[in-house]
Amino acid sequence: GYLNLTRETLFTFMKQKKAALLIGGAGVAILGLGLGYKYLRKPEKAVRVGVVSQLLIHPLKSGKAVPVALAECQKMGLKFGELQDRHWMMVTEDGHMVTGRQEPRLVLVSLTCEGSQVCLNAPNMEELRFPIKQPDNPVLNCRVFGADIQGRDCGDKVSHWLTHYFGAEKTYHLVHFEPHMRPRKPVEKEAAYQKFEPVAFPDFGPVMLLSEASVKDLSSKLEKAVTVERFRPNIVISDCEPFDEDSWEELQIGSVRLQRVMSCGRCIFTTVDPETGIISRKEPLETLKSYRLCKPSEKHIHKTAPLFGQLHNVKKTGIFQVGDAVYKITR
């Protein structure tokens, strides 16, 4: 009996030892992998490069900016309550987008939300309210820079209101991009454009970032100073040098992580004054062209458009607010 017991004990001990060796071996292997991974994947370094001075949502494409103190940053851009960046758009009867390039006074139209209602306001117009959700209204096929996207028609009342405001020969409609609709990718075949996450109605990327210092630098070269609003950014940064934002590849702001895709090439829309809705077709575009053209190697992407502001994808969604520190991430 004693021998049997000893044999059993020995057998159990051997089994445990074998298991322990296996576990130990696996542990060493995992540790090795972990260390290897740690050295392969360099640790991140966060360097403070600025502060968020403004957060701006443009619910209506080419419409007035809505400043917010705090925003949720989603894959498709900034959101505050029911307000989502560039989720409403004015279109022609056949669904083609209408922007401030065609109708400069669109920059004076404000779209906000109260409860379940959308509120439209514009100079010398009665406020118009209509429901955010109108499930019985038709879904229109729309075009944004040659790419197809859907939008739900906001109704005839809204159409009459817009058409009256612009005193247009044509009939305009307002469409709303709803969560179940399919977002769009830019049609540009350039590799740089293909990196953008799908969006609703923005020109290209979901988030545009610009520094106050860059705007100040530009204003110092102009007869009449310009404001940040003219360039329609979502995130405005202070406490940095002019054009520092050009070199920030990855950023951490609040719980949000942003990844730079490319510089923002500027068009005639920058010559629309956000205060008056008057288009000059000249400044500040001419001055920007005098010192902000792309490198020759990027000419196939930007052509003659001067670069001002940076377009980002949202790598990690989250919340940020005015006053948050901005960190550049390096590895």
**pLDDT, mean over the chain:** 91
Do 150 and 142 meet the contact criterion of CB atoms below 8 Å apart? yes
Q: How many CB atoms lie within 10 A of CB 285?
A: 19
Give the count of alpha carbons within 13 A of 59, CB side only.
25
Overall size of the chain counted in residues: 331
Do 179 and 205 meet the contact criterion of CB atoms below 8 Å apart? no
DSSP string for 252-305: EETTEEEEEEEEEE--GGGGB-TTT--B-SSTTHHHHHHH-PPPGGGHHHHTTP
Dmax over Cα atoms in the chain, in whole Å? 107
> What is the tens place of the pLDDT at every residue in 92-138?
999 999 999 999 999 999 999 999 999 999 999 999 999 999 999 99
112 closest CA partner among 83, 148, 81? 83
DSSP string for 77-137: EEEETTEETT-EEEE-TT-BEE-TTT-GGGGG-EEEEETTEEEEE-TTS--EEEES--TTS
Walk me through the domains of the chain, giving residue ranges and CATH numbers.
Answer: 46-330 (2.40.33.20)
Residue 77 in this model has a pLDDT that exceeds 80: yes
d(CA 115, CA 112): 10
Amino acid 41: pLDDT: 73
Residue 5 in this model has a pLDDT that exceeds 60: no
Residue 22 in this model has a pLDDT that exceeds 60: no
Residue 314 in this model has a pLDDT that exceeds 70: yes
d(CA 277, CA 45): 44
Identify the three-state secondary structure at position 49: strand
Question: In what helix (H) or strand (E) does residue 195 lie, and over which residues does it extend?
Answer: none
Model pTM score: 0.87
Do 253 and 324 meet the contact criterion of CB atoms below 8 Å apart? yes
Radius of gyration in angstroms for the set of CA atoms belonging to the chain, rounded to a whole number: 27
Amino acid 24: pLDDT: 52
